[in-house]
Structure 1
């Protein structure tokens, strides 16, 4: 088998269905498997997987064991030569895995590969490519100077070496994953991707960023970004510095003080983001499904314009994209192409009666049922 895709899920059933639908399309011509590890969601997630994706290898945990343990458990099940660790709140384009397999073959001494992640509004997520967060680099970032934290030497649309990848999407050979012991299970949430990437480098491999492929990441869905997030982040970085840097003590005391300032700033950002609602003048449905059009009109109680293809001049609009009509790759390109015109985007997965989307990396997105 060529590829195993491991998706660790926790209480995001609708996002999981969208993710699985996109992955299913992306592996149609690859000898591949999908492994879903459910971290005891206690909702309809597992039933939906069984009902709609019977070929998926579903692993049900009896407790929420965290990111590292959950993904390691999925990797233990993997039969593929290659492995992709994937968040459930992502959407991959149809050519994603075939492009990565080809890119990997061009490289030497390859560790892991990441892709260009964008949020639901089309904004590039800078954590897609990062430098090693030494205590000095982390301190500068917390003080509002992230130039050393993110890898700005590499353009977001380029391919090339980078040190640190993000756990929402990591692609590598399964034997590399196993050779470094997978994710460190001392981390429950956050920081494990930094540690994982750094250990790959310390093992003598080179990590890479593949900017040619854009993957949608509804950031904030698997874990809402709030003060709990900041505490988890602090704890994770404490583990990282104790493990990898001898200068932990003095440096981290400064980081602790800076983090308190950063918490206050982030709290203001979160408060501001939560009260903002996207505004739009018109609604457009990219589809040819007149029944879907009728359902959408009734649900939104608004006039909806049916279009078979996108108009690049649309602005201040809610754009609903029907994945039965256009590819997921097209959906991602529409979002990135029209983001500067203050549009709002929602995707309707194939064979499901809901639309889904997110308008900011700071806020949880929405799911609107159409039945």
Structure 2
């Protein structure tokens, strides 16, 4: 088998379904498998999996064992030559995996490979490619210093060597994952990807960023930017520093204080009310358009098959919500439309009963059930 896609889920049932549908499209012509681990979600994620995807291997944990341990569970069962660690709040393009495997096969001594990640508004996520958070970099990052050196200077659409990749999307040979011991289970949430990337480099492999394929990472679904996040994130950085760098009293004190003080002053992010004057449903289906129109009433909603022509005549684009029917627009083209940052976006996944999207990487997205009223995610 060529590829095993590992998806760890916690309480994001609709985003998980959309993610799986995108992965299924991407592996349709490959010898590949999907393994889903659920960390005791209180929603109906597992019921959905058994009902909608009975053919997919599902690991149901009876408690939340954290990111590292859950992914390690799944990788032990993986049959693929390559494994891809994938967040449930992501949407991949139809050719994402084939591009990356072809690239991996063209290089020697490849470690982990990442790709370009954007949020639900189409904005590039700089954590797609990072440098090693040395003591000095860690202190600058914690203190909020501009140009701290935390992110790689590689251009977002380029291909090149990087130190650290993000756990929302990491692909590598299973043999590499096994050789370095997988994710370090001392981390519960956050920091595991930094630690794994660094272990891969220390083992003599080279990590790569591949900016020629883009994946949507809604991010707010799995990473709410509040004080709890700040406490866990900076605590993880402190753990990484202690594990991998020689002790230095000044830096040790600075990182320790930062990890403890920053969470106290970190602002909690809240959803802000957006202003939508028009919605545009990109589709060839009158029936599906009727479903969408019912959801958006009384907002003016129009159906178009040529989005580019419509937008060229439109002013105030940021007040437009663009709904992409993936029965009509494939995922790769949908992602490219996201990257143009025309307005707000939602996706209607194939064979689903909902649409979803997120307007910020720092707050929760929105799920709308077809033929029903609005529902939070």
Give the TM interval when normalised to the shorter protein: over 0.9
CA distance in 1: counterparts of 2:287 and 2:281, whole angstroms:
12
Q: Deviations over 1:115-151 (max 9, x none)?
A: 1000001111000000000110011122223524344
Query: In the TM superposition, what is the alpha-carbon distance from 1:44 to its structure 2 partner?
Result: 1.1
Q: Does 1:229 find its partner at 2:229?
A: yes
Q: Are the equivalent residues in 1 in contact too, given 2:143–2:258 (CA < 8 A)?
A: yes
Contact kept, 8 Å, 2:223 with 2:362, in 1: the verdict is no
Would you say 1:354 and 2:354 are equivalent positions?
yes
Query: 2:287 corresponds to which residue?
Result: 291
C-alpha separation between the residues in 2 aligned to 1:115 and 1:65?
A: 27
Instruction: State the TM-score, normalized to the length of structure 2.
Output: 0.93
- Aligned equivalents of 2:238, 2:353: Cα separation in 1: 44
Task: Report if aligned partners of 1:126, 1:150 keep a CA contact under 8 Å in 2.
Answer: no
* Contact 2:130/2:162 (<8 A) preserved: yes
2:80 maps to 1:80 = yes
The equivalent of 2:154 in structure 1 is: 154
The alignment partner of 1:124 has SS state of coil
Contact conserved, 2:131 with 2:152, CA < 8 A, in 1?
A: no
Q: Which residue number in structure 1 is paired with residue 253 of structure 2?
A: 253
Match of 2:103 in 1: 103
Question: Does residue 167 of structure 1 match 2:163?
Answer: no
SS at match of 2:307: coil
State the SS of the aligned residue for 2:37.
strand
Structure-to-structure mapping, 1:174-193, within 5 angstroms: 174-193=174-193
Partner Cα distance (2:147, 2:194) in 1: 17
**Could you tell me whether the CA contact under 8 Å between 1:117 and 1:215 is conserved in 2?**
yes
- 1:98-128: CA deviation from partner (whole Å, max 9, x where unpaired): 0001100111111000010000011110000
State the Cα distance separating 1:49 from its structure 2 match: 1.3
Whether the 8 Å contact between 1:112 and 1:208 is mirrored in structure 2 is: yes
Which residue number corresponds to residue 59 of structure 1? 59
Instruction: Spell out, residue by residue over 1:232-263, the C-alpha distance to the aligned partner (whole angstroms, 9 max, x if none).
Output: 11221222111111225431321233456644
Matches within 5 A, 1:132-151: 132-151=132-151
Measured against aligned partners, the alpha-carbon deviations of 1:29-87 in whole angstroms (never above 9, x if no partner) come to 11000000011113211111122222211111111000000000010110000000000
- Equivalents in 1 of 2:286, 2:265: separation in Å? 47
Instruction: Structure 1 unaligned segments of length 5 or more: list them.
Output: none
Contact 1:7 1:36 in 2 (8 A): yes
After superposition, what is the alpha-carbon deviation per residue over 1:157-214, rounded to whole angstroms, capped at 9, x for unaligned? 0000000000000000000001111000000000010000000001011100000010
Distance 1:248 1:4 in 2: 41
Deviates more, 1:225-234 or 1:117-126: 225-234
Structure 2: distance between partners of 1:13 and 1:356: 11
Give the secondary-structure state (helix, strand or coil) at the position aligned to 2:328. coil
* Residue 361 of structure 1, CA deviation: 1.0
Corresponding position of 2:118: 118
Question: Which ranges of structure 2 fall in alignment gaps of 5 or more residues?
Answer: 372-377
CA RMSD of aligned residues (A): 1.5
**In the TM superposition, what whole-angstrom CA distance separates every residue of 1:272-323 from its partner, at most 9, and x where no partner exists?**
xx25222122110001121221121112213210011312435121100111
**Secondary structure of 1:147 counterpart:** coil
Looking at structure 2, the residues matched to 78 and 367 of structure 1 have their Cα atoms a distance apart, in angstroms, of 31
